[in-house]
Structure 1
Amino acid sequence: MIRFFTGLLTGLLSVLLLGQPLLAQTPPIAPSTRNALPRRAIAPPTVVPTTIDRPNNRPSNQTKLAAPERRGVWLTNIDSDVLFKAAPLKAAIDTLADLNFNTLYPVVWNFGYTFYPSVVAQRATGFRQAPGLDRDMLAELIPQAHAKKLLVIPWFEFGFMAPETSDLALNHPDWLTNTRSGETVWLEGGEPRVWLNPFLPEVQDFITDLVMETVAGYDIDGIQFDDHFGLPNTFGYDDTTIALYRQEHAGNVPPSNPENPEWIQWRADKITDFTTRLVRAIKAQKPKVIFSLSPNPYDFAYQSSLQDWRTWQQKGLLDELIIQVYVSSLDSFQSHLRRPEVQAAARQIPVSIGVLSGLRGKKVPFDRIQRQVHAVRQAGLSGVSFFFYETLWNVAHESKRDRQAAFRHLFPSPSIGIRSTIAQ
């Protein structure tokens, strides 16, 4: 999934990898990473806040109202069978509801495949959904979750990214962007990935159609992208993007330095333009569907991934922001919560924090989770979401019984009315 910070020691960030998937019979999956490598800071652009036009003169969701605490969890296809078998899925929903969670983020787009039947994906990949799947996971999950008053916000994890050997990449090599040296492969935790060109109309249409198919076809409460809904700053040197840049720069080619501030801003602005069109399409179809984003902290998101989420929030594009803060140091964790762009966003929209509950190869003690949740509450933010389901209590230092009892103490009462705030 998401690239992430796992701790700060003398200013350095460590990179953690998940292990091999638990189930060989599940769809094509591989070790997931949430890694982030620090780079030299690049000053973000100065933005004049604007808001998108909303259908039927509906007000923007930019005035933050009192709302229940967000208590979310990401349901993955990595190191977990929760989405791929009916019994584990039902058990997870029942347990999460019983422990007063209120939001599920099930992965639906990963490794170049969907985890629900998709006509759009079939046109692009030849597969209606990920190989090995024979049921509509979303159609099964949504009514069960809603019956327990849980929000369901499908998570398009891979965004513009795909494995190098995926059917999507092999079928559409013309959709890929590249570095200045012509390289299309980007390593994420040692795994070869490629990037769909976010500046290409065909790619924008594909992502839009994929999202709109889900919005129109299911009773979802929102959709979510994460840090992969951007582009590593070394990419964008493909012929199409260069031609577009030259058209807007009197024939001049892009700077050779991928971290050139103007070149960073130009590409980030193009991704912002596409995000604006996508959000407008979603709101025209279902105005109350949440557009959720789970990015890295802003400086890294902007300078390294061309993801200018501060501007997206200021333009009224985001209904929910869940910032990944996967650090072990409490001081470092709290410093991220105090960032001015975080506090500014929290005055306008619900801002929650992504908390690492563990990885298969890195168990996180519950006392750290508890301290971080308390820090979020003390900072006045909207809530938390945990990465990922299995490490809440199935993969942990403590016993499953003790871990669930600790979560019950952390969330002693339901967060009432969570679905009524956005009912269609």
Structure 2
Amino acid sequence: MNMRDLQVAVCLLCCLLTNSLPAATPEVRGTWLTTTGVDHIRTGFNTEGTMHDLRAVGLNTVYVETWKNGYTNFPSQTLKALIGTTDRNPTIGTTRDLVQETLIHAHRNQMEYYGWFEYGAMSQYIGAGGNPNNPLSNYMKNRGWLLKNQSGQYADSTNGGFAYMNIAVPEVRQFIIGMTLEAVNRYDLDGIQFDDHMAWPVNFGFDSTTINLYTSQTGNPAPTSPTNSQFSAWRQQKVTKFASEFYSAVKSARPEIKFSISPSITSFSTTNYNADWPLWESQGIFDEFAIQMYRSSLSSFNSIVNQQVTPFEPNDLDKLVFGLRINPSPLTPYNDVQSMIQRSRTEGAAGHSLWFSSGVLDIYESQLTSFYDVAGQGQAQNPNFSADHRPAPLVASSLGSGLWDVKVTNADRYRIVAKIGSFWTEFNVAELNAGSQLIQVPGATQVELLVDRRTATSFLGDFDGDFDVDASDFILWQRGKGLTSGATAMDGDANADGKVDALDLARWQLNYGWFQANGAVSQHSIPEPSANAILSVIILGWLIQIRHFKSEFFRKRIPI
């Protein structure tokens, strides 16, 4: 055998050995990320490392806090218009866009990202007998739209000490849906998730608003007990109606986005929170059910599993995700956690999600890394998405003077993300052809392209929605220029921040000449504007973003 034949034989052998390696079975491997407690995402300084480490362990999905304690973790015109003051939580910085920050790093690490609207129908944590007093709670309280128990309290030990908004009130439902749709329509989210707080606590509903609605709609007398069967049935109908209405609104806005719900176990969820999720599953409401099977020992966990699996038909088990707890106290022993994960596989569930990121990275990082064995088996695909749904970022090379070169392998829509200073931001969105592309991003130390899965063409500067970017779109931008709130795509708002400014013009200019033939094939046919014109716009956008980052990250923060 000559040397060439030997080399060929070695290559063939290597290929055979590589192909014989067991591939990781697709499954949801998730965790939740919160701003409470450990600083994985709270200040923003650890977000990049956190997402990298979660991916290295073997996770493919993150559920990231988006709505908490009466505030959004993203700019919300809906909330701001309602309460007339800041929409962001003062404890994390009132100008930060935590959703954008975390979304970029999740996708840079090829993980699916769900905006986790943790607080659901809750407006504030106040403790048992507490008085709701944040801006949203005051707005709702002044209109009689917060639930009360028979003692006239807004919270007690049975509902965890939280003030709940009354979802029987149309305006409350419209607010929650509208706030959520802002995030759905603006960000390149893979999904959203609501918690066990899309609910109506059993002891609540004795406020005058609820009693008036109940008696007028049913003809029944006012209930004297929170467990009155007719009163419970009425409240469950209200929660189910809201769930159905909400799901339809999200799927109408973006059919491809996944809507996940993470309720308590049945029948506790139905009895104590009037949230009948087995009924929702049977009616085709929600795409994923991450049931909170939170038990700190294997024996107690095994005792509840069958009841959670039974509501799912065999062909619907791909909607079921086992929610498993690691911490806080008491800590679940690692061997029990591993056995719980194995049980989810045995039952045929779509996968599992671990509460919460602190347990994954600060307690059982080495054990989980060994268990998932990414080095030997590769990363597991989330079965709810295609294998190439979140490909690796395309990394640009600096040519100096703010000019970057990137090799685009496939023509597609891309989010241009850049590290400017200490943090990353979405700099622009563009339809790019395959081949070498030059991008001007002044002030950046790193530039990458992330595939954009949003379908709305307004992000490209197609303000009139006619599937091209041309002079008529510029005229709309020109008319809307200077709007600082309430702007839509038709006003020239390309990045869905409610304003019309140079950042929106930069998107129009970068994509000028793009059109979508027959609503399907994206092309560029018209020469782009001069490099100097583009550069002048982008530099202006860059200066605006730099001011934003200075105010966002270097202001004094209030610790939690």
Q: Does 1:219 align with 2:177?
A: no
Does the 8 A contact of 1:313 with 1:345 survive in 2? no
Does the 8 A contact of 1:322 with 1:385 survive in 2? yes
Q: TM-score, normalised by structure 2?
A: 0.59
- Offset at 1:415? 1.6
Change (3 A) 1:380 1:410: farther
Does the 8 A contact of 1:100 with 1:411 survive in 2? no
Change (3 A) 1:213 1:345: farther
For residue 60 of structure 1, what is the aligned residue in structure 2?
Answer: none
For residue 122 of structure 1, what is the aligned residue in structure 2?
Answer: 80
What pairs with 1:344-383 in structure 2 (closer than 5 Å)?
A: 344-345=312-313, 347-348=315-316, 349-359=318-328, 361-383=329-351
Report the Cα distance in structure 2 between the residues aligned to 1:411 and 1:198, rounded to whole angstroms. 49
Tell me which moved more, 70-79 or 253-262: 253-262
Does the 8 A contact of 1:226 with 1:295 survive in 2? yes
- Offset at 1:386? 0.7
What pairs with 1:315-334 in structure 2 (closer than 5 Å)?
A: 315-334=283-302
Change (3 A) 1:138 1:150: same
For residue 37 of structure 2, what is the aligned residue in structure 1?
Answer: 79
Q: Secondary structure at the match of 1:302?
A: helix
Q: Does 1:152 align with 2:113?
A: yes
Change (3 A) 1:329 1:417: closer
- Offset at 1:412? 4.5
Does the 8 A contact of 2:235 with 2:274 survive in 1? yes
Q: 2:149 aligns with which of 169, 174, 179?
A: 179
For residue 242 of structure 2, what is the aligned residue in structure 1?
Answer: 274
RMSD after superposition: 2.4
Does the 8 A contact of 2:140 with 2:165 survive in 1? no
Does the 8 A contact of 2:28 with 2:381 survive in 1? no
For residue 136 of structure 2, what is the aligned residue in structure 1?
Answer: 168
What pairs with 1:7-406 in structure 2 (closer than 5 Å)?
A: 68-125=26-83, 126-131=85-90, 132-133=92-93, 134-161=95-122, 162-163=124-125, 164-173=132-141, 174=143, 175-187=145-157, 192-250=161-219, 252-339=220-307, 342=310, 344-345=312-313, 347-348=315-316, 349-359=318-328, 361-394=329-362, 396=363, 401=366, 404-406=369-371
- Offset at 1:74? 0.2
- Offset at 1:363? 3.1
Report the Cα distance in structure 1 between the residues aligned to 2:367 and 2:315, rounded to whole angstroms. 36
Does the 8 A contact of 1:90 with 1:144 survive in 2? yes
Change (3 A) 1:410 1:340: farther
For residue 29 of structure 1, what is the aligned residue in structure 2?
Answer: none
Does the 8 A contact of 1:224 with 1:292 survive in 2? yes
Report the Cα distance in structure 2 between the residues aligned to 1:249 and 1:211, rounded to whole angstroms. 31
Does the 8 A contact of 1:337 with 1:343 survive in 2? no
Q: Secondary structure at the match of 1:296?
A: coil
Q: Secondary structure at the match of 1:298?
A: coil
Report the Cα distance in structure 1 between the residues aligned to 2:376 and 2:75, rounded to whole angstroms. 35
Change (3 A) 1:290 1:373: same
- Offset at 1:393? 3.0
Q: TM-score, normalised by structure 1?
A: 0.77
Change (3 A) 1:301 1:239: same
Report the structure number with the largest CA radius of gyration: 2
Does the 8 A contact of 1:342 with 1:351 survive in 2? no
Q: Does 1:415 align with 2:380?
A: yes
Report the Cα distance in structure 2 between the residues aligned to 1:254 and 1:300, rounded to whole angstroms. 25
Does the 8 A contact of 1:354 with 1:384 survive in 2? yes
Does the 8 A contact of 1:338 with 1:379 survive in 2? no
Q: Percent identity?
A: 29
Tell me which moved more, 266-275 or 238-247: 238-247
Report the Cα distance in structure 2 between the residues aligned to 1:201 and 1:339, rounded to whole angstroms. 33
Alignment deviations for residues 142-188 of structure 1 (CA, whole Å, 9 cap, x no partner):
23222322111111111112232322112331221112332222347
* AA at the equivalent of 2:182: E
Tell me which moved more, 125-134 or 275-284: 125-134
Does the 8 A contact of 2:166 with 2:172 survive in 1? yes
* AA at the equivalent of 1:148: N
Larger % of strand: which? 2
Alignment deviations for residues 237-287 of structure 1 (CA, whole Å, 9 cap, x no partner):
22222222222223x323211112221111011111111111111111100
Change (3 A) 1:202 1:308: same
Tell me which moved more, 215-224 or 348-357: 348-357
Report the Cα distance in structure 2 between the residues aligned to 1:406 and 1:351, rounded to whole angstroms. 22
For residue 37 of structure 1, what is the aligned residue in structure 2?
Answer: none
> Aligned pair count?
352
Does the 8 A contact of 2:56 with 2:374 survive in 1? no
- Offset at 1:290? 0.9
Change (3 A) 1:345 1:196: farther
Does the 8 A contact of 1:346 with 1:381 survive in 2? no
* AA at the equivalent of 2:73: F
Alignment deviations for residues 27-58 of structure 1 (CA, whole Å, 9 cap, x no partner):
xxxxxxxxxxxxxxxxxxxxxxxxxxxxxxxx
Does the 8 A contact of 1:71 with 1:383 survive in 2? yes
- Offset at 1:326? 1.2
* AA at the equivalent of 1:119: Q
Report the Cα distance in structure 2 between the residues aligned to 1:114 and 1:195, rounded to whole angstroms. 16
Does the 8 A contact of 2:265 with 2:308 survive in 1? no
5+ residue gaps, structure 2, are: 1-24, 126-131, 390-452, 455-560
5+ residue gaps, structure 1, are: 1-66
